Structure 1
Amino acid sequence: MAQLLALVEKTKPYPLAVAGPADFRCEPVAAVDPGIVLTEPGHSLYCLDHDTRRALFVRTEVDPGGAPFYFQAQYEHATGVVALSYDELHALPTPGEPSGVFLYSTGRCGSTLVAAALAERGGLTGLSEPDVLTQLVTLAPRLPEPELRELTRSCVRLLSRGHPVAVKPRSFVIELAWLLHEEFPQFASVFLYREPLSWARSTARAFAGYDPALNTDPAAVQDRLGRLIPLVARWRQRVGRVLSPEEVMACQWVAQLERALALRHRGVDVFTATYEDLLTDPQGVLKSVFAHCGLAAPSGLDEILARDSQEGTTLSRSATAARDGEAVPRLDETALMRTVAELWVEVVR
């Protein structure tokens, strides 16, 4: 039987941390039917607890699907938790096969806006950054491929629940794009990115406070990033030291571009656009995205384009603008672009 848990305390270390079982301190209440997460409103898949081989569903009064960041809304509004064993997770019935769009990106490139347009004007259910998929990236090296595939199938099934969905995962999830395509070839694939120097400037400003340990323990932060971006771990091992912020960002940008190219090389029809394209012709890019995804031409885009798609979060325009006056690390732009060039040579060998 599944376990109903009382939420005693929320213990997430910082808002943008990847969701995990340590985010909540809970106490057991009672055994319950696993189907409660489907039959009672307000339950959504939050994360996996692989050490105990359980999946954690949170109960919320607010639908996290309408939020700019799914994982943050789940955490902020959680009032209770239900834990299911992996076997119970896999056995949960859901109607039909999942379908929709996987919207991959480097981040800081308009992907949240595009995801909002797909949800609001494309008739899809929006899932912007469900962190159970981010967790699968970190678990992948530890799992036999059949188990990784089974967990991936079940997680996407339980996120979509039979509805066509626009899934915009965190940028790291492109590491598993090949698997998501193989398991769900019926999904359209979209990749958005931004010119590296502009992306790095925006990233440095937006994520200056991403993890407090960036300043106190950069090695530990890079250990965690290395599990999400394997190129960070490989480059760090190659140079034999803690990487500079410019090197870390170069690793992220190159790795995610390379994964998108690899997806194309597998024969996947990936629609690609840049942030610069969106700035120049937002209506045209959005209409092309909709056409690629087999959706009717959208109307009413002006309203979506006029607002901040990340409003109310730590990454909103107002929040990042406020950080302009703070001590944001200054980028060595020459070092950044030099590392990007070195890494391209490395990954295409």
Structure 2
Amino acid sequence: MASLQKVRCREIFLKGGTPTMSPACLDDFLPVQQSESQTKSTSVFEADTTEAVADPVKFFRENGAQFSVYSFDLDRRVLGLVKAREGVDIRKKPFLFQAQRETAEELLLIPFDVLPAVTDALTESLSEVKNIFLHSTGRCGSTLMCKAMDVMSQVQAVSEPDIFTLIFEHAWARDVPLTSEEEAEAVMLLKHSITLLNYCFLQNDPTRTIICYKPRSVAVFVADLMQRAVPDAKNIFLYRDLPGYYDSTIQLIFSGRYWLYFFATTLRLDVMFLSVMLKSIPRMFRYVYALPRMATCPVRRGMPFLFVTFWIIHMQQACELIQDDSDNFFRACLSYEQLLEHKEQIILKVLEKLDVPTDNDASEMRAVFDVGSQEGTAMQSGRKKGDKISSSWVGSWERNFFLTALKHFDGDVDEPDFVMPNNMVMD
């Protein structure tokens, strides 16, 4: 049976820093005691503070605008949705899952076997909704592009609901592939989750029927499952060349301190640090580090190896999607460099290619480029300190490293400045 309870975020996520980037999990919350008679509990699944929801269809029709999909628990087979603190517009935050986690006041748990009845009851009211998925390599301006698209009067752009990350971890970060039954279940879970998210956002802004979801970069590995869940969705791929991606990532990791990066890599301290870090970081990074195809690559397996491999397999996955299903992947491909050069003009062209009407004043969109899209978060650029932007850390050692890794990988993506086959062309 569906249930509802008062919750609060665990303190570790309210202090900023790396923990805030942890994938969404239902154990991110603590139950809130309503009376002294209730037993104090450290788990939302063991608390006696829950309230049964006898008719989840009716409940969601009446309250769905307040609850957005957050995470799921495969062992308990429940989907969790949260209600944010009143007055907080979580959709406007740089990362939806962080805003949901930090401001959650109530947690709604819906069993998997109840989901079809709930989403079927909402389908008719969502007939005009069209979805877009904005995939990316990461560190390429995807949050910026998401914010720029959100300026459009017809578009709601939502940055990083974490359901897609969790599906990736379920599907890819494991020793064996999903069975056909597990894959079908993952598609259905995506379908139900996207339907519930669509309902929530449409109820709050009913005139903006085009809803774009910008997931974390690993979602490109489950883009085919997402497409099966929403067959009419249109896809965008935003990417960055390897030197730019690497430089942005490594400066973020080392907080813009080149001396720390230099000593860590020169003395090979990054190898030791990474071996410790891999025990606590999300499974998606452990998967990349243990990728069989790169097991014999003749480079040191430290920080550079992790992030260079991360970029290569993202780009390769995008290429393979284009080769396997060119009708859906990707309606529009563009690079970070194109985004910065052409700004609102290339976004308008992308939307035009996706058959999205664009009747806004482009100056509203251009204004978005003057504001740091990830400012105040753990993912804020390490290159920018005040008004100063540090120079690139990519030198001859890094470039040789890139070429060695790419040669060993031996895929379609064979150059650090690889250009996607269906990249946008500006007039």
TM-score scaled by structure 1? 0.86
Alpha-carbon spacing, 1:223–1:117, altered in 2? closer, same or farther (3 Å): closer
2-structure distance, mates of 1:222, 1:311: 23
User: Corresponding residue for 1:10?
Assistant: 10
Asked if 1:130 is matched to 2:161, the reply is yes
Tell me which amino acid in the other structure corresponds to 1:184: V
Are the equivalent residues in 2 in contact too, given 1:46–1:58 (CA < 8 A)?
A: yes
User: Corresponding residue for 2:62?
Assistant: 39
SS of structure 2 residue aligned to 1:308: coil
Could you tell me which of 343, 349, 370 is aligned with 1:306?
Answer: 370
1:248-327 pair list within 5 angstroms: 248-265=306-323, 266-267=325-326, 268-270=328-330, 271-297=332-358, 298-299=360-361, 300-317=364-381, 321=385
Alpha-carbon spacing, 1:20–1:12, altered in 2? closer, same or farther (3 Å): farther
Are the equivalent residues in 2 in contact too, given 1:222–1:233 (CA < 8 A)?
A: no
Alpha-carbon spacing, 1:155–1:16, altered in 2? closer, same or farther (3 Å): same
Asked if 1:112 is matched to 2:143, the reply is yes
2-structure distance, mates of 1:216, 1:232: 12
Asked if 1:96 is matched to 2:154, the reply is no
Shift of 1:226: 4.6
2-structure distance, mates of 1:335, 1:31: 60
User: Corresponding residue for 1:158?
Assistant: 196
Unaligned runs of 5+ in 1: none
Shift of 1:330: 9.1
Matched residue count: 343
2-structure distance, mates of 1:203, 1:347: 23
Alpha-carbon spacing, 1:340–1:44, altered in 2? closer, same or farther (3 Å): same
Alpha-carbon spacing, 1:90–1:239, altered in 2? closer, same or farther (3 Å): farther
1:91-240 pair list within 5 angstroms: 91-92=117-118, 93-94=121-122, 95-97=125-127, 98-140=129-171, 141-142=177-178, 144-161=182-199, 163-208=209-254, 217-221=276-280, 224-226=283-285, 232-235=290-293, 237-238=295-296
1-structure distance, mates of 2:150, 2:246: 28
Could you tell me which of 328, 334, 341 is aligned with 2:406?
Answer: 341
What does the per-residue CA deviation read over 1:45-71, in whole Å, with 9 as the maximum and x for residues that have no partner?
Answer: 100111111111111022321211100
Are the equivalent residues in 1 in contact too, given 2:5–2:108 (CA < 8 A)?
A: yes
TM-score scaled by structure 2? 0.71
Alpha-carbon spacing, 1:320–1:11, altered in 2? closer, same or farther (3 Å): farther
- The structure number with the bigger radius of gyration is 2
Tell me which amino acid in the other structure corresponds to 1:5: Q
Are the equivalent residues in 2 in contact too, given 1:56–1:83 (CA < 8 A)?
A: yes
How many percent of aligned residue pairs carry the same amino acid?
A: 25
Superposition CA RMSD, Å: 3.2
SS of structure 2 residue aligned to 1:126: strand
Alpha-carbon spacing, 1:221–1:152, altered in 2? closer, same or farther (3 Å): same
Alpha-carbon spacing, 1:247–1:318, altered in 2? closer, same or farther (3 Å): closer
Are the equivalent residues in 1 in contact too, given 2:294–2:409 (CA < 8 A)?
A: no
1-structure distance, mates of 2:348, 2:372: 19
2-structure distance, mates of 1:306, 1:263: 33
Higher share of residues assigned helix: 1
What does the per-residue CA deviation read over 1:224-249, in whole Å, with 9 as the maximum and x for residues that have no partner?
Answer: 1256x557533465569993111111
Shift of 1:296: 2.5
